[in-house]
Amino acid sequence: MKIKCLTLIVLFSFLYEGAMFAQTSEPAGREASMMRLSSNWSMDGDLPTQSLLISLQGVANQGSPNLYFIYPPAWTFTFTEAVYGYYQDTHNIAFTELSSADDALSLYSGAADGYVVWDDSVRTSLIIAFTVAGLENAVVVNEDLIPLVESHGLKMVDDLRGRYRGMTDFQIYKDAWDRYGDLVSKDFIVWMGGVHGRRMEPGVADFGIYQKAFFTDLSANARDTLEVNLADEILDEMNDGGIVLGWHSYKKDTEGQHVTLVSQHGLRMEGLNSLPNTSFNIQIPTTPGYTFTNNHNVVDERTYVPAAKVYVSAVQTDGLGLGAWLKPGRGKMPYAWEVTMNWAWMSPALLQFFYEQATPNDYFIGVLSGPGYMYPKAIPDDKRPLLIDEARKLMDTLDLKVFEIMDYSEGTRTLGNLDLTEEVVDDYYEGMPEALGFINGYGPANTYDLRDGKPLISYDYYLGERRPVEEAVADLEELARMNTERPYFLLLHVRQWSTIEHVIGILDQLGPEFEVVPLDLFLKLASEKPDFPTRYASPDRLPTGPLHAR
């Protein structure tokens, strides 16, 4: 048997129809405000003021896009300044720059019905305050900011000072859910995780307030029994297919634990806690007549014959929002980028920005396991086909022909099982008949399939941004030696913080038997002469997925 990995490699339609497709024309022009936020997100620094501003954004943008923020250069999502320029140039938005919270309140305090005070001594009280802000159409302040908001005529609607002192997070969130659980949205919920301690990066709070969502950062770690059980209870109240905005707490649990819990309820993630300006972006449609168009490389009527060589294709994880897109090197080699598909309705013009910047070497693919981030093995069998169908619709809208699957519900890339079950594979093949092919994993995995000329190929290599060039070159050369049959199809996953120039510096040192090709061509060539045994497919087998359990 061939060795395929190197073990040493250390609610659907109403949402996007209402937010995107109903908007058929762009106004001749509009005015809005812009403000720059600082890089200080400490409770002892600028977090109180910037939380006030983000909550003001959530209420000021109700009904129309009025307030946009440019985040600092080191912010996780690196595009806010570039998109600010794009909106001016192509969407005819005239921005006025604001310089202070006082300026912002002078313009938009009238959109708020009051303020809620959070407790400086209890970090979690700020997370609860965001929930109250959405329900009361209010802004959040600490004690020091009360005089400022009252000078603009706002009155207190709730006071959290003292309410939660001495309580655990479980006790705080249990109290909050008992108070607000019947009032909040069941289509959206926010996990205000990420950094912890005296810092918080609540970029997504504007959209959570905009949607009247419940905010939390409950643990999904099994050791935290009370928090896990409460999170389970809360997620069970969400509508099927609901969206969990934000991210898990780096202090409490892991990505795999959190997304597994979300998936077990038939829900999907849309990260991160730092996602900026969505209450603004959701209201900016694409330009009139715009159609999302990908850079396809496979021609239907052409015959493709792979040569006796090592074919390499590179995929950038978190491709559009994080990392390499705006850095030098893009366009110099064939490269696949993961598209955040829900931006088709959450941020349509933002997605247009990326599509219009694409070079002929940039190829977009659908992710991640569904209409949002989910683990298909953890999704209940009866809900998985519906989620896959929603992903298929988004793929059609965004002109995507390749879909990526990832599942950490049974471990991670270094310890665990990243392979898919037969039932899951069946569901993707049946649910996405227009797909050219599928890719699987994050690190190396071993699920391969080929049905009706459409391959499913798992990653062979994970390239971290800290992997020295000479070691990465040696790894890829060793994989080529281990897999002696030619052609050999080597699928490369590039971590989001890596740059294309770093990848080029590695691939340029490989010998002439290596050839880098676009991902769709890679899959087409693999379908013509596969170098892998299929895990489940056989000519006489019957499909096993829930769609066939009738």
Give one DSSP letter per residue of 410-470, joined into a string. Answer: TB-SSSB--PPPHHHHHHHHHH-TT-SEEEE-SS-----EEETTEEEEE-SEEE-TTS-HH
Q: Is the pLDDT of residue 9 over 50?
A: no
How many angstroms separate the CA atoms of 425 and 547, rounded? Answer: 12
pLDDT band at 8 (very low <50, low <70, confident <90, very high): very low
The pTM assigned to this predicted structure is 0.92
| Residue 314 confidence (pLDDT) | 97
User: 238 in helix, strand or coil?
Assistant: coil
pLDDT band at 18 (very low <50, low <70, confident <90, very high): very low
Answer whether the bond into residue 433 is a cis peptide, omega within 30°.
no
Place of tokens 């989001």: 496
Order across the sheet with 372-373: list the strands.
214-216, 188-194, 243-249, 268-270, 372-373, 369-370
More confident residue, 26 or 404: 404
User: 137 in helix, strand or coil?
Assistant: coil
Q: Is the pLDDT of residue 539 over 60?
A: no
**Mean pLDDT of the region 271-299:** 98
| Residue 460 confidence (pLDDT) | 97
| Residue 516 confidence (pLDDT) | 98
**Mean pLDDT of the region 486-492:** 98
Place of tokens 């192509």: 90
* 119 close to 161: Cβ distance less than 8 angstroms: yes
**Mean pLDDT of the region 24-46:** 88
**Mean pLDDT of the region 439-462:** 96
Residue 496: phi and psi, rounded to 5, are: -60, -30
Q: What are the CA-CA distances from residue 338 to residues 151, 223, 335, 405 (Å)?
A: 46, 33, 10, 11
| Residue 498 confidence (pLDDT) | 78
| Residue 416 confidence (pLDDT) | 84
Which uninterrupted H or E stretch holds 193? Answer: strand 188-194
How many angstroms separate the CA atoms of 218 and 1, rounded? Answer: 45
More confident residue, 478 or 22: 478
Percent helix, strand, coil in the chain (nearest 5)? 35, 20, 45
How many angstroms separate the CA atoms of 525 and 320, rounded? Answer: 26
| Residue 537 confidence (pLDDT) | 64
More confident residue, 370 or 543: 370
| Residue 547 confidence (pLDDT) | 40
How many angstroms separate the CA atoms of 156 and 462, rounded? Answer: 52
Q: Which residues contact 150 (CB under 8 A, 6 or more apart)?
A: none
| Residue 24 confidence (pLDDT) | 43
More confident residue, 425 or 466: 425
Report all structural domains of the chain as residue ranges with CATH numbers, in order of start. 12-281 (no CATH), 310-548 (3.20.20.490)
Calculate the average pLDDT of the chain: 93
**Mean pLDDT of the region 480-497:** 93
More confident residue, 78 or 27: 78
Q: Model confidence over 95-139: pLDDT tens digits? A: 999 999 999 999 999 999 999 999 999 999 999 999 999 999 999
Both tokens of residue 26?
Answer: 């762009």
How many angstroms separate the CA atoms of 479 and 302, rounded? Answer: 30
User: 373 in helix, strand or coil?
Assistant: strand
**Percent residues over pLDDT 90 in the chain:** 86
Cα atoms in the 13 Å half-sphere on the side-chain side of 112: 33
**Percent residues over pLDDT 70 in the chain:** 91
